[in-house]
């Protein structure tokens, strides 16, 4: 019989039959550290490489958003959403929701790349969806904490 730890994962020590949290094992600690490292890298990417050019109205971002007909308003909105997602990727209770939201934003970016830019750079949002999906799934236990927090405030 297996027990589930607070993080939603479990592991069994086969020699003693005792149940230990996966994060207590060296492999579990490395996996958690790697996942957090991935979150930091994605947060930096979204904040610096993606949101910043939009929020400072870099000429390449302005040109792209003008080409799709969204103008500077759309550019600032998307930049703000990306920056908010980047920050939320680093806040434990928001990590899963942030990854899902950024994944949805990337799905939209994929469609825009296909329709407005003839598929140029369409692979980038698809590539970013993969680690975002991993983060959303791995941190899904935090969604319960977020719901509790929201219900407590309501």
Q: What is the pTM of this model?
A: 0.81
Confidence of residue 45 (pLDDT cuts 50, 70, 90): very high
pLDDT of the residue at 114: 95
Neighbouring-strand partners of residue 11: 20
Nearest partner of 4 among 26, 22, 16, 17, judged by Cα: 22
- What sign results for the dihedral spanned by CA atoms 28, 132, 101, 80? positive
**Each residue of 89-130: pLDDT tens digit?**
999 999 999 999 999 999 999 999 999 999 989 999 999 999
Tens digits of per-residue pLDDT, 5-35?
Answer: 444 444 444 454 544 455 678 988 999 999 9
∠ CA 96-97-101, nearest 5°, is 120
Are the C-beta atoms of 125 and 107 separated by less than 8 Å? yes
**Using alpha carbons only, how large is the chain's radius of gyration in Å?**
19
Q: Is the pLDDT of residue 2 over 70?
A: no
């Amino acid at each position: 019989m297996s027990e589930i730890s607070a993080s939603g994962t479990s592991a069994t020590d086969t020699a003693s039959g005792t149940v230990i949290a996966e994060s207590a094992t060296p492999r579990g600690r490395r996996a958690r550290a790697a996942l957090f490292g991935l979150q930091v890298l994605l947060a930096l990417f979204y904040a610096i490489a993606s949101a910043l050019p939009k929020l400072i109205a870099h000429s390449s971002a302005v040109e792209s958003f003008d080409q799709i007909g969204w103008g500077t308003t759309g550019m600032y909105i998307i930049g703000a959403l990306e920056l908010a997602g980047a920050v939320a990727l680093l806040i434990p209770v928001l990590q899963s929701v942030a990854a899902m939201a950024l994944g949805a934003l990337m799905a939209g970016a994929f469609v825009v790349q296909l329709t407005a830019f003839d598929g140029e750079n369409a692979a980038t949002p698809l590539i970013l969806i993969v680690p975002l999906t991993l983060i959303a799934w791995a941190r899904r236990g935090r969604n319960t904490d977020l719901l509790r927090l929201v219900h407590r405030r309501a």
